[in-house]
Amino acid sequence: MTLFERIFGAKEKSASKAKDRLTIMLAQERADCAVPYLDDLKEDLMKVIQKYTKVGDINIKSEHNQNIDMLEIEIALTK
């Protein structure tokens, strides 16, 4: 930081904005990547459930917090 900026205060530089935006975005994307088997799991589940009933769509979400990793599976049936 130059003397000028130190005295008069500077507006946020674009590089630090870039870093903040990236950090936030990548935290989300890495969480999604933490379960690389999602697509395979979805396919297998589809096969199993189709033995019993008609499946419309399967929606799997992964959630993480400090204590627990969780998969939330939503199965929509077709009428």
**Window 30-69: contact mask with another protein (x via CB under 8 A):** x--x--x---------------------------------
Is residue 26 close enough to count as binding another protein by CB under 8 A? Answer: yes
Q: 3-state class of 74 per DSSP?
A: strand
Cα-based distances in Å from 39 to 54, 60, 65: 19, 9, 22
Q: Smallest distance from the beta carbon of 40 to another protein, in angstroms?
A: 12
By CB under 8 A, residue 23 contacts another protein: yes
Cβ atoms of 63 and 43 within 8 Å: the answer is no
